[in-house]
Structure 1
């Protein structure tokens, strides 16, 4: 694929300045234009960065599987200052985007993986980086947080950019590249889903705005559960479902390429566990 396509050049009627270097967390000295509030550090050392993490409650997470915890570990190891808050504690107050939360320390000890400092209300414009890391549902509450976090840019780097998080949900974004995806339909109508299965046989049915593999089902061409699953999903919410032709090669892995500002920087091959169709990471 053309690299410009990966940057979504010309794919939207919205214009948006280019993203700032996410590599700033590892080498903020090279990105001083975007990170003006660095403190501490001896000559030749990486200056400390003020990092806020917006995430779901940290207590119940699985530290061996949660990627947000790994980000926090890495930032802490680099000497950066961590502050943690949950999305419900984000607010707009008289021209400021604020959050009520805690200074955070993390450690790789199951059941004792974090410590919190004194609770405080902070102005997110005083931070260098805000990590937008809460899980879906991708509902109006989630969308509202993206609008609020947009108001602290460009002074503060928000990762990922809330504009793109809101306007390009991952399961809809790939519709711009139909030549790279299996046959797909997005629909709420049962007859449309039935017709898709008649045309393509075995299929995957899942929520449009889910995450972590929750609610993902494989239905064979003879499976009698399509109607029941449709009733369950449509009874839970008002959103369409996504159906895709099942690709047997998923058993060999699902390759995920990591991009930073449109450039590939790494990749992983997610292989399903024995007896599983899903290969999701959290």
Structure 2
């Protein structure tokens, strides 16, 4: 297969933990051709979507981990699979990129995750489609509604709809300390919609990342455990990742969502679960492949490339 990765600059990869690198390494090990390009390298001309791509060879070296062939313009429809692995921010540039990828699909490209499905599943708001699995949640920009929700539940988490890595997340306890200021900041005085959820005390045991590949759950989650007085378990916010077998409830959530999301064109999804509750559905560039593999011995990248080969037409 000819596999193209739409990713951030390769020089920025921390290959000891990067999930996209793990995908590339597994694909290369199987003899697939690996290419890479950035979103800015795409172009639409005369109805055809192309990109300036580089053929990537993995060296096995920890520092200079790849060599790149000469850049060449290729129609995206020439690839057997295109993997959308660009990290957020999910801004309008990101959206424009999904439009180009969607056009490329019409020209024969197979894109994973499907561009329209990425747009349709905001990583915070997507949980609203599965209310039976979530803690009490409110989405609004209205201060009165936000205050009423806090008054009802007493201990809440407020967060922006476009954040990643735990940025912009606040906890407000029953005393309401700084609630007004936090609402003003997050909503930009009522101009931005945010999410507020009842605080889930089980966060102290970790914010679990459950990977679902081709509709099926990886048998281990990565519990990202907050450190010290921090309420966020995100690895980017200093959380410690601990791989652990899925609980009965974890598997119940993953098996309920997996086939539904796979049918919508989402080959790889990262479900975030705290305690018994679904908190996010990550579809842009889910991570934690290497942490789970290193600690559990389960080869996540192999499971992913198996699913990619099947979806791309190569069993």
- Fold similarity call, TM over 0.5: yes
Q: Distance in 2 between matches of 1:236 and 1:65?
A: 38
When the two structures are aligned, how many residues end up with a matched partner?
Answer: 234
1:227-266 correspondence to structure 2 within 5 Å:
227-235=180-188, 239-266=192-219
Is 1:50 the counterpart of 2:50? The answer is: no
Match of 1:98 among 36, 42, 50: 50
- Label 1:127 to 1:173 Cα distance change in 2 as closer, same or farther (>3 A): same
Instruction: Indicate the structure with greater helix content.
Output: 2
Q: Distance in 2 between matches of 1:110 and 1:220?
A: 45
- Label 1:272 to 1:129 Cα distance change in 2 as closer, same or farther (>3 A): same
Structure 1 segments, 4+ long, off by >6 Å, are: none
Match of 2:126 among 158, 167, 173: 173
Name stretches of at least 5 consecutive residues in structure 1 with no aligned partner. Answer: 1-48
Name stretches of at least 5 consecutive residues in structure 2 with no aligned partner. Answer: 236-286, 288-315
Residue of structure 1 in register with 2:234 after alignment: 280
- Label 1:69 to 1:220 Cα distance change in 2 as closer, same or farther (>3 A): farther
Task: Tell me the CA shift for residue 223 of structure 1.
Answer: 4.8
Q: Distance in 2 between matches of 1:265 and 1:50?
A: 25
Q: Distance in 1 between matches of 2:31 and 2:97?
A: 28
Match of 1:206 among 134, 153, 159: 159
- Label 1:227 to 1:110 Cα distance change in 2 as closer, same or farther (>3 A): farther
Task: Tell me the CA shift for residue 255 of structure 1.
Answer: 3.5
Task: Tell me the CA shift for residue 109 of structure 1.
Answer: 5.0
- Label 1:72 to 1:196 Cα distance change in 2 as closer, same or farther (>3 A): same
Residue of structure 1 in register with 2:30 after alignment: 78
Residue of structure 2 in register with 1:65 after alignment: 17
TM-score normalised by the chain length of structure 1: 0.73
Is 1:129 the counterpart of 2:81? The answer is: yes
- Label 1:120 to 1:211 Cα distance change in 2 as closer, same or farther (>3 A): same
Match of 1:117 among 54, 61, 69: 69
> What RMSD, in angstroms, separates the aligned Cα atoms of the two structures?
2.5
Greater relative contact order structure (CA < 8 Å, 6+ sep): 2
